[in-house]
Amino acid sequence: MFLVLIDRAGYMLAHMLSLRLPGNLVGMLILLALLSCRVVRLEWIQEGTSILTRHLAFFFIPIAVGLVAFKGVFLQHGIAILVTLIVSAIAGTLICGFSTQALKEKEANSRDTTFGAIRHWYYRAGLRP
């Protein structure tokens, strides 16, 4: 129920502020902000989200059926649409991969620096492991 409330809040906020973003995206951004600020704990919504992700394929059925109405557009611009989809998928994957690697390296460097400083003060205090 909480996820539905966040979704509805996103739609209302997008409508009230005349945002050019879909309401469900605004709702997801609200949820991200609440999770990042630790106002909402992941454990509170984990069961509901696991049900939704388990049945994620069903959410694409209306989209696929709706695409049939645009048959002419696909016949006329199909190659351009296909190239755009492939390029955007590759770009998204590369950006995700590179940013994950950069964050992982930053975390490792931060941990090494912290442990190095602790080790330095440990030896300086005359303690031996």
- Between 91 and 70, name the one with better pLDDT: 91
Tens digits of residue pLDDT in 27-68: 989 988 998 888 888 888 888 888 888 887 777 777 777 778
Residue 14: band (very low, low, confident or very high) from pLDDT cuts 50, 70, 90: very high
**31, 57, 60: which is closest to 46 by C-alpha?**
31
Average pLDDT over residues 95-114: 78
On the question of pLDDT at 125 being above 80, the answer is: no
Average pLDDT over residues 86-92: 94
- Of all residues in the chain, the percent with pLDDT exceeding 70 is 83
pLDDT at 68: 80
Q: Which tokens is 26 given?
A: 């605004």
CA 105-106-107 angle, 5° bins: 90
CB-count burial class (<10 Å; 0-12, 13-18, 19+) for 27? buried
Q: Which tokens is 71 given?
A: 């048959």
On whether the CB atoms of residues 87 and 95 are closer than 8 A, the answer is no
Q: Which pTM value belongs to this model?
A: 0.49
First to last CA, the chain: 53
